[in-house]
Structure 1
Amino acid sequence: MSKQTVLVIDDERDIRELLTITLGRMELDVDAVGSVSEARSALAGRRYDLCFTDMRLPDGSGQELIELISETYPETPVAMITAYGNVDAAVNALKAGAFDFVSKPVDIQLLRRLVRTALKLSEERKAEAGGAKGAQSSDRLIGTSAAMQQVRSTISKLSRNQAPVYIGGESGVGKELVARLIHEMGPRAPGAFVPVNCGAIPSELMESEFFGHRKGSFTGAHADKEGLFQAAQGGTLFLDEVAELPLHMQVKLLRAIQEKAVRPIGGRDEIPVDVRILSATHKDLAALVEQGLFRQDLFYRINVIELRVPPLRERRGDVPALADFILQQLATESGMPSGRLKPDALAALESYHFPGNVRELENILERAMAMAEGDTIEAGDLMLPQRTHTADGTGGAAVPATSALRGTAHSDVPLEDYISNIERDTIVKALEEARYNKTATARKLGITFRALRYKLKKLGID
């Protein structure tokens, strides 16, 4: 079996020799050149499985070589060799299509890990003709709208490099699913995908959660603990709701990303980490930067490439396929026949605004299955909030269909919570009036006994 080939482009002789020796010990066939013109000749005469290029070369820049390789030899991953701390050059290289970057002085262990990951990617690109991973994306991202086709295409491109990706979009659009697909379709798929909700970790525990700690480093630290970065070693760390990070933690996160190393609390030495960073939030991160609530340097570091996931109202044509998929999932989970939407129910869904996006559609259909008589869902079973109208005739806020029971919705309460509170109050009152006879309560509410049982369980009513 022939050796895999690597091209090293650097005008420093010591760097060329170091990489040639290190990669040679990994049983790779290495060519090393010192200029753009020599690199162009080498690329024209031989196919390479991986390239390394310095940023500054005597007759040009590594940036133009990255662009050349990305356009002309797309199956060949290319990594930038950059001066220590030169974050701007690294970011520009990633945007131009680089797979990753290596800082001088070169850390041999990090270099070896990068090479192994890159060579996996090279093999996958050669085997991509069958399109198996694209099919996987199609299977899990439901919809054929132009917006979703664009998202699929972008995911496919992003899975081929190691650039940090910022996934923007409203709550409920499926940002975590997009992050998982970027991970699963790339060379890091065998590694762990570690999602973390940054808003769910108490501020005082964040450093320990992200970087780990050593036994005895603080009260309660009874044993060594690895952090999220170590848990994601060789894989992907997904920072959901990254806007919720406090400023002191943003500084530490920035250093970990730039240095590709973490220091556990109480530890003396930094631990190298090989982790790809994906992040997401439903907030306007750029606006938070302007307000001084999010560090600009961290924003540029995690937002090398931005992927926007469209809200459901921008792809209404996908609603029928999404609804069918969700109903089939609910049927599988419950062991019951799949629900069927009547034409009036489907029309109601297609015309609804969906402020809660796909997550809201899931909740609506789950509730409708509990409310429906049999397996057929009618428009009334959906219990869609009705939109109010202002005096000038324009559309106002969405108000739950059951709002007459408790007045109008409060703007500071999330719609889903507001509806749940109404349902809980109404069911508790009906139970009290029926002296906790569930059959009588269901009759009083005008719902099936099965629907009442479902709601009691969902709402936690004992």
Structure 2
Amino acid sequence: MSKPLALLIDDEPDILELLELTLGRMQVDARKAKNQGEALALLKTESFAICLTDMRLPDGDGLQIVKHIQQHYPQTPVAMITAYGSLDTAINALKAGAFDFLTKPVDLQRLRELVNHALRLQVTSPATSQPDIDDPILGESEPIARLRRQIGKLSRSQAPLYISGESGSGKELVARRIHQLGPRSEQPFVPVNCGAIPAELMESEFFGHRKGSFTGAVADKPGLFQAASGGTLFLDEVADLPLAMQVKLLRAIQEKAVRPVGTQQEESVDVRLLCATHRDLAAEVAAGNFRQDLFYRINVIELKVPPLRERREDIPLLATRILQRLAERSHDSQPELSVEARERLLNYRFPGNVRELENILERAYTLCESDCINADDIQLSGTSASPDKAAAGLDQIDSLEDYLDNIERKALEHALEETRWNKTAAAKRLGLTFRSLRYRLKKLGLDD
């Protein structure tokens, strides 16, 4: 079997020699180019498993190489080599389609990790809009086909990714799929709900701690970054991070290293970072709640997950799969949806998206008394009373605040009862952060 072939582009002979030597020890052959012209000529004659290019070249720049390879040789991952501290340059390269980047002086361990990830891409499937057997993202609508194509393309990159979308739209599912299709698929996928970690424990949870570093630290403990090493770290509800933690996270991302609580030593970590939130992160930056430099760093590429109301044609397929899953879990027969029940679902806006559809169908599955779910079994929020009845009820409201508090209290109690008072599960059920749930419970006197 022939060795993989790398294209190395740099006008510094010492750098070329170092790269060639390191790759040679990894059983990777290399072709060297001192400028853009030589590189383009080599690309025409040979097929490369990876390309490493310097940013500054005598007859152009590395960004032109990145764009050229993206257009003509999209299966070849290309990594940019930039001067230390040139973060803007690296981010521009990632946005242009670079697989990853290295800074000078080149860290050989980091180089080996990057090359290994690139070589693994040769056996992953190309981007496609067609679902495969293992695809957990259900749907055949155009928004989902487009999302599938984007996932296939972005799974080949190592760039930080910001997944935006409404609560319940499936952001974690998208993150898992990106990990599954990428070169890190055999390594851990570590999801973290940033809103569920108490502020005082965040640094220890993210970066780990040493025995005796604080009261209760009875042993060394690795953090979430260490747990995800070699794989993917998914930070859900990243907008809930306190500003002090945002500073530490930014440093960890930039330095690709973390410092456990109780030590001065930094540990290098190799993770791909995926972040998500249902909030408008740009608005959070404008309001001063989220650091602009961190936003710039994690939002190298944004991937938008469409809400369910923008892909209504997928509702019947989703409903069938959800009911199938419920029946399998109950070891029972799968009920059908009546035409009227289907129409009722298709005409609903689903503010809670797929998660709300799952909850509605679980309730209908539990309540229906036959093998067919009828329209009456489909209980949609906000549709139980007509506008006339709602208006008539206003006469009986003395205080709008008390009235709304009462509605909120009932919803919280119902969610807690459904989840057997598991507050983390109840928060997820309601589309709230854990911190927001705690605040509401305290406000309404339900925090006993």
Q: Same fold judged by TM-score > 0.5? A: yes
Indicate whether 1:84 and 2:84 are aligned.
Answer: yes
Within-5 A mapping of 1:186-201: 186-201=182-197
Amino acid at match of 2:132: A
Q: Secondary structure, in 3 states, of the residue corresponding to 1:217?
A: coil
Distance 2:210 2:407 in 1: 41
Q: How does 1:124-163 map to 2 (within 5 A)?
A: 124=124, 128=126, 134-136=131-133, 139-163=135-159
Q: Which residue of 2 aligns with 1:34?
A: 34
* 8 Å CA contact 1:77, 1:122 repeated in 2: no
Q: d(CA) in 2 for partners of 1:144 and 1:252?
A: 41
Change (3 A) 1:412 1:86: farther
Structure 2 match to 1:428: none
Q: Check 1:367–1:315 CA distance in 2 against 1; reply closer, same or farther (3 A cut).
A: same
2:25 counterpart residue number: 25
Tell me what 1:103 maps to.
103
- Cα pair distance change 1:305/1:43, threshold 3 Å: same
CA shift at 1:269, angstroms?
2.0
* Cα distance in 2, alignment partners of residues 377 and 107 from structure 1: 61
What SS does the corresponding residue of 1:135 show, helix, strand or coil? coil
Q: Establish whether residue 63 from structure 1 lines up as the match of residue 59 from structure 2.
A: no
Is 2:316 the partner of 1:325? no
Per the TM alignment, residue 385 of structure 1 is displaced from its structure 2 partner at its CA by: 2.6
Segments of structure 2 that go 5 or more residues without pairing to the other structure are 418-448
How far did residue 324 of structure 1 move? 0.6
Q: How far did residue 124 of structure 1 move?
A: 2.7
> Aligned match of 1:376 in 349, 372, 379?
372
Is residue 208–residue 227 contact of structure 1 (8 Å, CA) maintained in 2?
A: yes
* CA spacing shift, 1:40–1:384, aligned 2, 3 Å: same
Counterpart position of 2:349: 353
Q: Do residues 266 (structure 1) and 262 (structure 2) align?
A: yes
Native 8 Å contact 2:360 2:378 kept in 1: yes
Alpha-carbon distance in structure 1 between the residues aligned to 2:333 and 2:190: 34
Question: Is the Cα–Cα contact under 8 Å of residues 130 and 145 in structure 2 kept in the other structure?
Answer: no
CA-CA distance at 1:374 after TM superposition: 2.4
Q: Which amino acid aligns with 1:78?
A: V
Partner of 2:214: 218
Q: Following TM superposition, by how much is the alpha carbon of 1:348 offset from its aligned partner in structure 2, in angstroms?
A: 0.9
1:178 corresponding residue in structure 2 = 174
1:104 maps to a residue whose letter is K
Query: Residues 377 and 389 from structure 1, CA distance in 2 versus in 1: closer, same or farther, beyond 3 angstroms?
Result: closer
Q: Please, what TM-score do these two structures have when normalized by structure 2?
A: 0.86
Alignment correspondent of 1:440? none
Gap runs ≥5 in structure 1: 426-462
Aligned-partner SS, 2:132: helix
CA distance in 2, matches of 1:414, 1:168: 29
Aligned to 1:443: none
CA distance in 2, matches of 1:147, 1:355: 18
Answer whether contact 2:130 2:148 (CA < 8 A) is retained: no
Name the amino acid aligned to 1:187. Answer: P
Structure showing greater Rg: 1
Question: Contact conserved, 1:50 with 1:122, CA < 8 A, in 2?
Answer: no
Superposition pairs of residues 422-441 of structure 1, within 5 angstroms:
none
**Residues of 1 paired with 2:72 and 2:244: CA distance?**
43
